[in-house]
Each structure stands twice: as C-alpha cells, then as structure tokens.
Amino acid sequence: MEIIEITSTQNDLVKYSVKLQNSKFRKSQKLIFADGQKTIEGFINDGIVFEYFFCKKDNILSKKVKTKKLIYVTDEILKKITTTKSPSDVAGIIKEKEIDRNIFYKLDKIALLENIKDAGNLGTIIRSAVAFGIDGIILFDECVDLFNSKTIRATAQNIFKIPIITTKDINFIKNLKKTHKFISTVVDSKNDLFKYNFSDKFVLAFGSESNGLSTKIVELSDEKLSIFMENNVESINLAICASIVFALTKINR
C-alpha cells in the first residue's frame, strides 16, 4: 500500500475525483466514487478493495481499509470531493467489477427495473432485493446510473451483494423467457399479486416511477399482476411497491 499526502485542492487526483461524479465520465473510467463514513465502513467490512482511499490522518478507517493508495487529505479537500450536504470524513474510489450477464440464466429470482430515474428509489429497491433474497437485478434501458452516489448511499452498503447489470439489449431479455417465467407489475390487472405463487424461476419487472412498464416489456409477460389497494389510494412509491413484492416472493413460494 502506497501512502500519499495531499494538501492542495488543485491536485490532479482531487480534480479527477470530482470529475468521477459525472456519470458519463465515471462510466468511461469504469470506476466508482463513494463517500460517507457509514457507506465506506460497510464496504470495508465486506472486504472491498479500494483503488484510492481518502481520509484525514486520524480517521480510524485508515487502519482497517484495503487500498492500493491511502491518501491523507485536509478538510478542504474532503469538502471539495464529497457529495453529501455535510462534507464526509472519508471517500474512496473503487474499480467497477465486470459481470458476465450469462450468469443470469442460472439465477432463480431476478428483478428487472426499466427506466428507473430516481437514484434514491433505485438504491432502496436494491437494498430490499438483497434483504428478501432476490438473486440478481437487471437495469433495462435508460435507468439512472447504478453508481450514482445517492444510489450507493440508499443501498445501505448492499450494492455489491448481488449481481446487477445494465443493458438495452431486448434480445437478452427475450432469451431469459426460455428459462424463466416473466412477470410484470402493472396497475390495471385483475390478478392479485398477493395471491400469486412464485414457485418458478422468474423475471419480475417494474417500470418507471411516472410511466410504468413499456409495451415491449409488458408484451413479454407470462403473468401481469397488480397490488390491490384500499381506501381509494391510487398508487404507492415505487420502492415501497417493489419491497412489498420482494417480500411476497419469499412468503408465497
């Protein structure tokens, strides 16, 4: 492990870290920027190896972290590079892991999220998916960046616990129908999701917060299911909806 000390906000590595907060640039570098004491501590406990780890000299996590380069920085630098409203005490850069999408054919329980735009919703959905035993997640079409800092924080350190891929390849989705039952959550089905038995290998699809699932996804459905609500409630938050359904996949199986 190399130890470096940086005191200037004009340092190239500091500027580079700030640029990683831009989704397009981050994806081009295949790197992930993460911050927040709780988030980083969770990654350390899971054995995640950092490319760069930024903190002050007195931060206790510097004694626990696995990193290629340990960077001691000032409060001013942490304020510049971190994304939280109150500057974080620690931050890190992680190499994005390549995931072979073919492993999804072998998974039993898959969630497909189409055109999810809200980073907080995505993070909460991932957290619930891990909690209720979903085996993998597919982000289809134009979803918010999986490694948006808000998404990472909302997962509560669970973002690396199951395979998650991003794709626009509809043929890959269609091929999953050869091995999995395709279930779409919609608002206008007469089939009650609470009564469905999730006994088969499945792909469970959720649409965007504003528009729901696209026609091309709904047309693939073997089953279309709805949550029937009472007291004239028309809709619930997408992350809450997904969490309820994920729990049902454990109960009704």
Q: What is the pLDDT of residues 58-105, one digit of tens each?
A: 999 999 999 999 999 999 999 999 988 787 899 999 999 999 999 999
Res. 234: pLDDT tops 80 = no
- Comparing 115 with 236, the larger pLDDT belongs to 115
For position 236, what pLDDT does the model report?
A: 87
Question: What confidence tier does 232 reach under pLDDT thresholds 50, 70, 90?
Answer: confident
Asked if 164 and 140 touch (Cβ cutoff 8 Å), the reply is no
Residue 125, token pair as written in the block: 């959905």
Q: What is the pLDDT of residues 11-31, one digit of tens each?
A: 999 999 999 999 999 999 999
The domains found in the chain, sorted by start residue, are 2-95 (3.30.1330.30), 101-251 (3.40.1280.10)
Query: Measured between alpha carbons, how far is 110 from 108 in angstroms, rounded to an integer?
Result: 7
| Mean pLDDT to the nearest integer, 139-154 | 95
Residue 154, token pair as written in the block: 């909302």
Q: What is the pLDDT of residues 163-216, one digit of tens each?
A: 999 999 999 999 999 999 999 999 989 999 999 999 889 999 999 988 999 999
Res. 253: pLDDT tops 90 = no
Q: What is the pTM of this model?
A: 0.94
Query: Measured between alpha carbons, how far is 77 from 95 in angstroms, rounded to an integer?
Result: 21
DSSP labels, 45-103 = HTTPEEEEEEE-TT-GGGGT-EEEEEEE--HHHHHHH--SSSPPSEEEEEEPPP--GGG
- Average per-residue pLDDT in the chain? 95
Residue 127, token pair as written in the block: 């957290």
Asked if 110 and 227 touch (Cβ cutoff 8 Å), the reply is no
Angle between helices 119-131 and 238-251 (to 10 degrees): 10
% of the chain exceeding 70 in pLDDT: 100
Question: What confidence tier does 250 reach under pLDDT thresholds 50, 70, 90?
Answer: very high
> Quick one: CA dihedral 142, 125, 238, 31, positive or negative?
negative
For position 85, what pLDDT does the model report?
A: 79
C-alpha to C-alpha distances, 160 to 66, 135, 136, nearest whole angstrom = 16, 12, 11
Residues with Cβ < 8 Å from 200, sequence gap 6 or more? 180, 181
